[in-house]
Amino acid sequence: MARTYFRGAFTLIEVMVAVMIISVVILALLNMQGNSSFIFSKLSKDAQVNQYASFFIANPDYGFEKKDVRMDALVKDFDIESKLKRELKNVKVAVIYQELEKIDMQEYEDTENQVDEYDEQGVLKQNTSGMAFEVGKTILKVKQRDSTQEASTSLIRLRMQ
């Protein structure tokens, strides 16, 4: 009669394969956690910069010229918490405006019924409709005093002249 033996333990190869599989899974999980932390911090920073941009949208004094402004000066008329005021004192924003396109409405006017006008020297004045559209992009570069990172966002603006 043949005897069969029951094996009660794993071999060394089986243990090493199991350890390798577990370590690959753990490394993948750590990598996913690191990536999600980076993405969360980036989104948090972008949300903060977009919040600063909303202050500029609400203020008609900024957006069409190049200026540097501190955020606390921009929101001085708002009733905000003192903690937020202290935070905004450390934030400086550079406003960069780029004109993308200017559309003069003169080419769409009826020129048949227009009367030519001349200046004092007898030179024909250029007839303008008085209406022009300017499409521009306002870029906000945000720099915090205690941070080495810069963030930026941009707004497309339309101005009638």
pLDDT at 77 over 70: yes
**Angle at CA of residue 135, ends 130 and 139, nearest 5°:** 135
pLDDT at 138 over 70: yes
pLDDT of residue 113: 55
- Using alpha carbons, list the distances in angstroms from residue 4 to 1, 7, 10: 10, 10, 17
- Rounded percentage of the chain residues whose pLDDT exceeds 70: 70
pLDDT tens readout for residues 42-76 = 888 888 777 777 777 766 666 566 677 777 777 77
pLDDT of residue 18: 94
Domain residue ranges in the chain: 12-160
Task: Give this prediction's pTM.
Answer: 0.50
pLDDT of residue 94: 81
pLDDT at 127 over 80: no
pLDDT of residue 130: 63
pLDDT at 137 over 60: yes
Residue 148's pLDDT band (cuts 50, 70, 90): low
Task: Say how many CA atoms lie within 13 Å of 20 toward its Cβ.
Answer: 6
